[in-house]
Structure formats: structure tokens, C-alpha cells
Amino acid sequence: MNLRRLLKTALLLASLPTTLGFAGSVFSETEITVGVYDFPPVAAIDDDQRVDGLLSELLAELESAHQDIDFRIVHTSPKRRHLDFEAGLYDVIFFESLDWGWESQPVEATRPLLQDEEVYVALDKPGRDQSFFDDITAHNIAVISGYHYGFADMSTDDAELEERFRVEFSHSHERNLKVIKADRPSVAEIAIIGRSYLEMHLQQHPEDRDRFLVSDTVDQVYRLRILAREDGPLSAERLEQMLWPLIENGRYQEMVKRHGLKLPNDLAGR
């Protein structure tokens, strides 16, 4: 047991009532393995494999409120996440769309807890307007390997995508935006970027607001849920019950807003 878990155990035992008749207590902590890949601002993984973003903050809040739960991060990738789940490497993954390859997996899902969308981003040049995005498949497109895209019918098969489209695979939105800014049309003329990530980037780099042409149309709108393994150590229903007090008191909404994300309509009014 690591130091953090020992401290949690000590805090919980210290909170138990002590009487002459108290013969002791056996504390059992449930470890929940959580699959995480780089998906900023939901989850941002730095070079030292530390997780930042909404997910990191939410897991800390849930652990604080539930001393008997310990979330253990299992690093995966967009391309590998389904295989790692099938291999039993983790039991829960936060903020996924059921349309992203989970249809045949043994998972339970919470209600939608986040909403976002992806847009097309090009370099703003003289003579370019929204018609530039009328047929994005006529251009070289920067994508992230393993991500699901509407224009590609949600396929993540690299070989299929290379056969059907002119795609440039990457590992991050940051790299794709750099390619667009470098004006290298032979590599990529359009990048597909999450709206929340794009807004975060423009806040950090306001000089780029006039450099990018952003599409009015979207590649996809997605509603994100927590997915849990059927018959796993923590059900989707229980995860939603754990999260609900943070929704009722507004803490979850504050976290979502702080990271530039949006709530589904049925939660936005709470």
C-alpha cells in the first residue's frame, strides 16, 4: 500500500467511534483502475506521465469524498484503449462517447456528463472563406491516430484512412495546429480540433485568433459519459451516485467551466 493510501486509511480509522466495547475494525479499500489517454482539456498527460485537466481534479474530489475508494491511473492511448480494456488492464474510463468503438464492449454507461464538438481549422489566407471546408476530403487533413472522426465514419483503422483520404497522423492537437501555422499544405491544410481545446489554445495564444480560419460546420458533436466494466468493481450507477453530490452543490459545474468544457443541456441548468 502506498503512502497516500496509508494516510487515507489512517484518516478513516481515526474518524471511527472508540468505545470500551469497540474491538477494532478491518478497513477494506477498493482500488479502481482508470484508463487514461491524452485528451486535453479533459485529461492532459505531460512528459512525466502526470495527468492534469478535468479528470485529475475530479478524481481527487471523488477520492476525498469516498475514503474507501482509490483510483489508480492506467496509461493507455487512443489507439490502444479498447485492446487494453479487453485485456483487463483497467475497469473504468471517464468521458467517452458510446459511438467511439464501445458498441461491442461489455460496458455500462452513466448519463452524458460532458458535451463537446470538433471543428475544422485552416490557415486564414486571402481569398479563403467558409467554402474552403465544403469538401474537406479534397485537402490534406491532420488527425490524431486512434481518434474517431465524423468525416471518416468513426473509423480508426490507419490503413483504411490512408487509402480513403489524404491524412497526416499525429499524437496531439498542439502538433496539428503547429503544422497548420507552418503553412505546409503538402502535409496538412486542415486540422480537426476539439472546440474546447481550440478555445484553450486561443486563450493561451491570442495572437493566433487572426491566423486561423475555423469552420462554422462541425465534424461531430459528442456527449461524454463514464464507462464501467459490466460486473466490475464499481458500476456505472455507483459512479454516477458518487458524482451526483458534486453536481448538486455545483462543484462539478465549476470544474467543467474552469477547464473550458460544457455540460449537456440536461445538466447545464442545474
Q: 130-181: per-residue pLDDT in tens?
A: 999 999 999 999 999 999 999 999 999 999 999 999 999 999 999 999 999 9
pLDDT attached to residue 29: 76
Residues 6+ apart with CB under 8 A from 31: 70, 71, 72, 233
Q: At residue 166, what are phi and psi to the nearest 5 degrees? A: -100, 95
pLDDT band at 267 (very low <50, low <70, confident <90, very high): confident
pLDDT attached to residue 5: 52
Please check whether residue 239 is in contact with residue 228, taking contact to mean a CB–CB distance below 8 angstroms. yes
**Hey, what domains does the chain have and what are their CATH numbers?**
30-115+222-268 (3.40.190.10), 117-221 (3.40.190.10)
> CA dihedral defined by 148, 149, 152, 155, rounded to 10 degrees?
10
pLDDT of 70 above 90: yes
pLDDT attached to residue 19: 36
Query: Mean pLDDT across the chain, nearest whole number?
Result: 90
pLDDT of 15 above 90: no
pLDDT attached to residue 1: 41
Please check whether residue 107 is in contact with residue 81, taking contact to mean a CB–CB distance below 8 angstroms. no
Task: Tell how strand 167-170 and strand 141-144 pair up.
Answer: parallel
pTM of the predicted protein model: 0.86
pLDDT of 17 above 80: no
Question: How is residue 61 written as a grid cell?
Answer: 474530489
pLDDT attached to residue 270: 64
